[in-house]
Amino acid sequence: MDINKEKIFVTRPSLPDLDEFYEKLKQIWESKWITNNGQFHEIFENELTEYLGVKYVSLFANGTLALMTALQTLRITGEVITTPYSFVATTHALYWNRIKPVFCDVEPDGNINPRKIESLITQETTAILPVHVYGNPANVDEIQKIADTYGLRVIYDAAHAFGVSKNENSILNYGDLSVLSFHATKPFNTIEGGAIVCHDKKTKERIDFLKNFGFADEVTVVAPGINAKMNELQAAYGILQLKDFDNQVKKRKNITELYRNLLTNIKGVRVLSEMKGVTHNYAHFPIFIEKDYPLSRDKLYEKLRENNIYARRYFYPLISNLPIYSSLSSAKKNNLPIANSIAEEVISLPIYPDLSEDKVRFIVSLI
């Protein structure tokens, strides 16, 4: 293999065994039940609930619809304190609900800084929407304290946090709701897909009504719901994916350790370390290119591309700097110094279970 000619992407989806998927497809074909709470939907929901160690899971067609529905579930209105250091879907979900995003600065690891939240609370604030960035848990205890003091709801964008736990408790058990994404680029994928995790049966029922137009039964519509249902093909694919997830995490952990070892002595390259008490999913490997590195972040990014390494700048540009959001008063750069600086420094290096040791060594040799 000529490593220099092959494109190496930031991620590659893990796919289920084709024969096993075909077997499942045959069952779907025979049943002629292809969406709307089919047999695989039910099995997948139950298996996920058990695997993740949570009370209730509601499957969705994708993570963005799940975020939008989570906000509707709790009737969130007014202003929501959130992070600009995320994928655009986090803020867009607020926008689609006519909620005003209020941007809060982050810590150097990219997670929302709880010490900056309190001063952003106004009479209009109803909730906090943090992200577990790169699957590293946000400061859930401090966030909950603030939410309890001020009577706010907490919805976590847990798009990156599949399988992550803190002190042996799933990170999805924190806050009022957590939202997962199962997009092809995520550590666990159903091609497109997502879920809301909640902690009681009534909320689960409401979420299930909302994702199915608001139907409680054939003639009763209890809410102006949306169509956000996961179909049977996605669910069958997900059941197969779940069987191999632990194995995939192990492979990504090895790659993470190799990157960390090889990158330790490179001046100007900051790497995030393992968090105490946290079981990680190793879905991302961001590095931060600081001032004392000989090249700018973008020069290094270009150099990697010239060598067929398609790393990405997750998350750049910062959401608060996009023209659609930059006129908000909370979007001012001097309110968000850390978020602005890490967005200018970050490069997400390739990481996926089948990435070979040779390729990792090649990437690091370029850096």
Q: How many CB atoms lie within 10 A of CB 191?
A: 15
Total number of residues binding ligand T4K (CB under 6 A)? 23
Query: Could you tell me the end-to-end alpha-carbon distance of the chain, in angstroms, rounded to an integer?
Result: 21
Closer to ligand T4K by Cβ: residue 155 or 367: 155
Are 137 and 166 in contact, with CB atoms under 8 Å apart?
yes
Choose which of 14, 58, 64, 111 interacts with ligand T4K (CB under 6 A).
Answer: 64
Q: Within the chain, where are the H helices?
A: 18-31, 39-52, 63-73, 89-96, 140-150, 201-210, 232-263, 297-306, 337-345, 357-366
Residue nearest ligand T4K, CB atom distance: 63
Part of the chain binding ligand T4K (CB under 6 A), chosen from 62-70, 117-125, 262-270, 281-289? 62-70
What's the token pair of residue 67?
Answer: 């975020």
Closer to ligand T4K by Cβ: residue 150 or 310: 310
Q: How far is the CB of 151 from ligand T4K (least distance, A)?
A: 26
Closer to ligand T4K by Cβ: residue 233 or 293: 233
Question: Binding to ligand T4K by residue 114, rule CB under 6 A?
Answer: no
Distance in angstroms (rounded) separating the CA atoms of residues 312 and 286: 9
User: What is the bridge-based pairing of β-strands 79-82 and 100-103?
Assistant: parallel
- φ, ψ dihedrals at 46, nearest 5°: -65, -45
What's the token pair of residue 212?
Answer: 């199915």
Choose which of 14, 72, 86, 340 interacts with ligand T4K (CB under 6 A).
Answer: 86
Closer to ligand T4K by Cβ: residue 112 or 293: 112
**Pattern 155-184, ligand T4K, x by CB under 6 A:** --x-xx--------------------x-xx
If phi over 0 gives left and psi between -120 and 50 gives alpha, with beta otherwise, what is residue 200?
A: beta
Question: Binding to ligand T4K by residue 317, rule CB under 6 A?
Answer: no
Please name which of 275, 278, 258 lies closest in space to residue 351, comparing C-alpha atoms: 258
Distance in angstroms (rounded) separating the CA atoms of residues 251 and 356: 10
Part of the chain binding ligand T4K (CB under 6 A), chosen from 25-33, 82-90, 103-111, 145-153? 82-90
Choose which of 3, 9, 100, 362 interacts with ligand T4K (CB under 6 A).
Answer: 9
CA atoms within 13 A on the CB side of 203: 18
Q: How far is the CB of 189 from ligand T4K (least distance, A)?
A: 9
Please name which of 108, 111, 106, 155 lies closest in space to residue 129, comparing C-alpha atoms: 155
N residues, the chain? 367
Question: Binding to ligand T4K by residue 109, rule CB under 6 A?
Answer: no
Part of the chain binding ligand T4K (CB under 6 A), chosen from 21-29, 87-95, 116-124, 218-226? 87-95
Of residues 179-218, those binding ligand T4K (CB under 6 A): 181, 183-185, 194
Choose which of 58, 72, 90, 178 interacts with ligand T4K (CB under 6 A).
Answer: 90
Choose which of 14, 62, 178, 231 interacts with ligand T4K (CB under 6 A).
Answer: 62
Closer to ligand T4K by Cβ: residue 86 or 335: 86
Question: Binding to ligand T4K by residue 304, rule CB under 6 A?
Answer: no
Question: Binding to ligand T4K by residue 350, rule CB under 6 A?
Answer: no
- The structure tokens 């879905």 sit at 283
Question: Binding to ligand T4K by residue 89, rule CB under 6 A?
Answer: yes
Distance in angstroms (rounded) separating the CA atoms of residues 187 and 14: 8
- Interaction site with ligand T4K (CB under 6 A): 9-13, 62-64, 86-87, 89-90, 131, 157, 159-160, 181, 183-185, 194, 310, 314
